[in-house]
Amino acid sequence: MSLEGLITVAKGEAQPDLTLKNARVVNTFTAEIEQTNVAIYEGRIAGIGDYDDGREVIDLRGKYLAPGLIDGHIHIESSMLAIGEYARAVIPRGVSGVVTDLHEIANVSGLSGMKYMLEGANGLPLDLYLMVPSCVPATSLETSGAELSSREIEAALGWENSIGLGEVMNFPGVLSGDEEVLRKITISKGRVIDGHAPSLGGKELNAYIASGILSDHESTTFDEGREKLSRGMYLMIREGSSEKNLDELLPLVTDNTYKRCLFVVDDRSSSDLLRDGDVDAVVRKAIRMGLNPIRAIQMATINPAEYFHLGRVGAVAPGYIANLIAFDDLSSFDVNMVFYRGRLVARDGEPTFSPFTVPKSKLTHTMNIKPFGIESLRLAAKGRTFPVIEVIPGQIITRSRVEEVEVRDGFILPQVEGDILKLVVVERHRATGNIGLGLVQGFGLKKGAMASSIAHDSHNIVCVGTNDEDIYLCIKEIERLQGGLVIASGGMILGSLALPIAGLLSEEPLETVVDRLERLERIASGLGCPLPSPFSTLSFVALPVIPELRLTDKGIVDVVKSRIIG
């Protein structure tokens, strides 16, 4: 960009490349609306005011004009979409920037997986900001496909568009003074450092924040969010596909606190992206819940821009990058025009940029499972009771329970009528032969089994089912597909979605992925599962950094005590 040219256009002495006339500009600095024109030069906003001509002129006819949305924390991989198809899903919704740490694909394929995603984003009308993943693996309580040392993290911090250190999930390591964890934080000083500290409070929270960690997206209660805000943290209010915290946390947003709050989705399925949207859906819901529309827009634009030090984005103002959205009504917030660096890239929900081809990937053979027989799925009894993971609808936290179990010939059987089903995690990176076995309540299956190679954060194969035969069949089908989602019943595969890229991403277009995912969800519902996003919920039951009880390939994990209990 020519700085001299920008100044000349701003002074009205030269024509803008584009003039947007008759716009109602949403001012994210002052929360005001101004009826005016906006002049754009070489992808930047030159000025706001009396600019009537331009090489191109678009009359917005009274539409609202706001900065493009910024999703402050998302795992793109959870969409199951290659990066180009992900962009095609979110850009027409008004999303111009995403902050991601790519730790899902990093746990499978390390730096090469991250580079694959970043290279795939080149040329897309989307700003991708990298928070370098801090916890690959998240803990020693599971087996991942890769490890990122502090040396590798330091190297990745030097990559283009690398802006800080991703969510520090290993809060026990921070509190215990783990040397490697603290080294990762130390080399990131001066950068933004995101947190991940579910249920942490009191002196332990003080210690965690004192280390230099600035934010948290894991608050699930009003009191937890309030304490973190009061101790100086930025509060990321999350509303994803299976993690829904907006209802509980939105009352914390006041005139005194809103500048420390931002909206994120964390994990959002391809179906939700297509049907409902990304962070734009969170803005709409917040408005429906009574939040002032301009404030809701601020929390998805200027607030993340300022927290992450993203430079001149997040506002409609002179010198700012012309990532802009236009819409007819503040309350409904239905985006119908999207500009990226002054270029129209989506209109009426459809992208106007060129179709994107999924780049060829070398990450297509990542299933490395030690052969095993169905007898390996038998769960030995050590008494009449056993720990049970209780799924909480709309949350990714779980409850730890101990229940009486049905035992036959020394082995525990699923209790379908009581909704206590078998849960299995099979290690798939290093052929260790590890198989974690446990029980879970909340999936409601009356027959059959469902499995996924998406299992946060290490992404081993996770399966829930009513019987060993269907569980075994699902696992073997995922191995054959080299990753994916599978449902079986009565010894037959009822449906599947292949995810051959690192066992996480599809090579198919957005609409195909959504069609197959929604078909699988309908099949799961027909088998008795009441969960709206059953595969998303299944993907989190193996996550050993979220309380209270989890299952990994190494066994049943008491997250609060950070140890394997069976």
Architecture per CATH, domain 71-286, reads as Alpha-Beta Barrel (3.20)
**pTM score, whole prediction:** 0.93
Quickly tell me which residue has 């950070």 as its tokens. Answer: 562
Do the Cβ atoms of 95 and 126 come closer than 8 Å? yes
Mean pLDDT, residues 433-458 taken together: 97
Q: Is 314 left (phi over 0), alpha (psi -120 to 50) or beta?
A: left
- Map residue 263 onto helix, strand or coil: strand
Q: What is the pLDDT of residue 362?
A: 77
Distance between CA 495 and CA 516 in Å, rounded? 8
Mean pLDDT, residues 548-557 taken together: 97
Q: What is the pLDDT of residue 313?
A: 98
In this predicted model, what pLDDT tens digit does every residue of 469-509 receive, in sequence order? Answer: 999 999 999 999 999 999 999 999 999 999 999 999 999 99
In this predicted model, what pLDDT tens digit does every residue of 420-441 receive, in sequence order? Answer: 999 999 999 999 999 999 999 9
Quickly tell me which residue has 């899903």 as its tokens. Answer: 89
For the chain, the domains span 71-286, 374-564
| Residue 279, amino acid | V
In this predicted model, what pLDDT tens digit does every residue of 36-67 receive, in sequence order? Answer: 999 999 999 999 999 999 999 999 999 999 99
Residues 6+ apart with CB under 8 A from 383: none
| Number of neighbouring beta carbons within 10 Å of residue 560 | 12
In this predicted model, what pLDDT tens digit does every residue of 292-344 receive, in sequence order? Answer: 999 999 999 999 999 999 999 999 999 999 999 999 999 999 999 999 999 99
Do the Cβ atoms of 214 and 235 come closer than 8 Å? no
Average pLDDT of the chain is 96
